[in-house]
Amino acid sequence: MENMALRAAVVVALLLTWLVPGIRLSMLPQDRALAAATTELMCLSSRASVLPAAWPTSGPLARSSTAPTLADVAAPMQRAFDKQWQTDAIRVAFVVVAAAALVAAGRRVVVPLTLAIAAATLYLWAYEPHWDGYRLLLVTQSPALWWHAVSQWSWALQAERLLAPVTVWFALLGACWLLWRLRSSGPSRATPLARASNLRSFINKARA
């Protein structure tokens, strides 16, 4: 019963860890490219505002090219965002498979636990969770001031900086603990000395 409760907790922690990457898949690559292009155009507009006001509009010093459109800026980014979206989709699909295998597994949980460990390790490698939210608490030394600052974050940033760093390590350590318990509670194998003693006893009985 204890192992089942810990296994369910590992599944929940694993899904909470990958919550934000999974939700981000709802934003398609073209939408990501358009959002990045909008930010790029805003930066270009801010840079253009610092140019001299008396910039010539005709003659040899006039600008020869028109202002880039949103589609023009987003087009070169489309391929990169396509690749990133596909990579994130494969990772999230792997995590879903690992969580489903751990839920559906009976007593044979060695492979599902290994998949859960791999899924948690994948998050640590791919996203490198930061502890900025908790370091901020040490800096402010005031829970009220810390919560006032953290409450200004978006829910996605709160999940990444407050939730994921805890749940990913809980899932990883919990799966490792269950796997170690499973290995240690398995049938003990006879040592070579014990096998030799049993063989000698069998031979003596056969001779008698």
Judge whether residue 19 has pLDDT over 90.
Answer: yes
Residues in the chain: 208
Kindly report, residue by residue over 118-177, the tens digit of the pLDDT. 999 999 999 888 888 899 989 988 999 999 999 999 998 999 999 999 999 999 999 999
Write down the residue that tokens 């031979």 correspond to. Answer: 203
Cα 143 to Cα 138: distance, rounded to the nearest angstrom: 9
Kindly report, residue by residue over 68-84, the tens digit of the pLDDT. 665 666 667 778 878 88
Task: Say what percent of the chain tops pLDDT 70.
Answer: 70
Cβ-in-10-Å burial (0-12, 13-18, 19+) of 162 comes to middle
DSSP labels, the chain: -HHHHHHHHHHHHHHHHTHHHHHHTTS-HHHHHHHHHHHHHHHHHHHHTTS-TT--SSSTTS--SPPPPHHHHHHHHHHHHHHHHHHHHHHHHHHHHHHHHHHH--S--HHHHHHHHHHHHHHHHHH----HHHHHHHHH--HHHHHHHHTTS-HHHHIIIIIHHHHHHHHHHHHHHHHHHHHHTSPPPPPHHHHHHHHHHHHHHHH-
* Predicted pLDDT of residue 45: 61
pLDDT-derived band at 205 (thresholds 50, 70, 90) equals low
Q: Taking each helix axis from N to C terminus, what angle separates 70-104 and 110-127, rounded to the nearest 10 degrees?
A: 150
On whether the CB atoms of residues 32 and 83 are closer than 8 A, the answer is no
pTM of the model: 0.71
Over residues 112-116, the mean pLDDT reads 94
* Predicted pLDDT of residue 165: 94
Cα 12 to Cα 14: distance, rounded to the nearest angstrom: 5
Contacts 24+ apart (CB under 8 A), 62-68: 68/41, 68/44
* Predicted pLDDT of residue 55: 44
* Predicted pLDDT of residue 53: 47
Judge whether residue 28 has pLDDT over 90.
Answer: no
* Predicted pLDDT of residue 63: 47
